[in-house]
Structure 1
Amino acid sequence: MNFKSILFALTTLVTLSLAIVLNPQITSPSADTKWRAGDTRTVTWDTENVTGGPIPEGMKGTIKLGYLDPKDGPNEHLNWDLGSGFDLNKGSFVVTLPSELETKRTYIIVLMGDSGNASPQFTITAAR
């Protein structure tokens, strides 16, 4: 094997490894979840069965709260940052929901690392 062949093989391997996208499935909240605005809750995700995984040590994540509006197509309305800079391979992060949220059944949590992964739609009720 000559130098050019080895260099090509190494470049191909590096490119393929960088193209792998990690996509951990969010396990909480689920479609049956009901939270209340202002509460502190734990968002969890699967770290064992990750498409593109395992999650490397030191990869950081971000959690956003949004909602879907049937009149607005696929727009996720990711209006609230709930946390960032946490280790994605830990599988959970405690968040505090904004207290001014309206009651909706179409809220979603989006977990971002090297891609975004949305939870099923779930309910948050307005604070009392």
Structure 2
Amino acid sequence: MRAASFIFASIALFASAASAAPADVFVPHITAPVAGDVWKVGSTQEVTWDTSNAPGQISNPDGQIFLRDVTQGITLLDSPLATGFNILEGKQAVHVPNVAAGPYEIVLFGDSGNFSPTFQIVA
């Protein structure tokens, strides 16, 4: 009797795990900034991305935005521009930090890290 109960419980557990919908990775296309944009240090800018192709369930909805210094080839991970927002919102205002003038990209993290086109930051 115990063996039959164990087998039944194991089958039920396996069936419930198999029926759970897997979460998909969401890699949205960044729509702003675009190539040629110029951001001024100290200004507030809006980062936007396309959420029209978002899957029904994503593995990580918590967004983070970072700057990537194109000249140095590094992402400024110690100073995020924004954290703790829902990636499905499709936009987030950010404050442009006091960084050296030059070419930058936005890195948007949630499920995956993706890059914006290169834009300029000026003093």
- TM bracket, shorter-chain basis: 0.7 to 0.9
Q: In the aligned structure 1, how far is the partner of 2:57 from the partner of 2:117?
A: 22
SS at match of 2:47: strand
1:34 is aligned, of 34, 38, 45, to 38
CA deviation after TM superposition for structure 1 residue 101, in Å = 1.3
Q: In the aligned structure 2, how far is the partner of 1:22 from the partner of 1:78?
A: 21
5+ long unaligned stretches in structure 1: none
Q: In the aligned structure 2, how far is the partner of 1:41 from the partner of 1:55?
A: 29
SS at match of 2:81: strand
Q: In the aligned structure 2, how far is the partner of 1:102 from the partner of 1:49?
A: 35
**Identical counterparts, % of pairs:** 38
Query: Are residues 1:17 and 2:15 paired?
Result: no
The answer (yes or no) to whether the contact 2:30–2:50 under 8 Å persists in 1 is: yes
Deviations 1:61-111 (A, max 9, x none): 1111121237x5xx444453111111111110111011x211102x01111
Stretches of 4+ moved more than 2 A in 1? 3-14, 53-56, 75-80
RMSD, aligned α-carbons: 2.7
**Normalising by the residue count of structure 2, what TM-score does the alignment of the two structures yield?**
0.75
Q: Which is greater in Rg?
A: 2
**Normalising by the residue count of structure 1, what TM-score does the alignment of the two structures yield?**
0.72
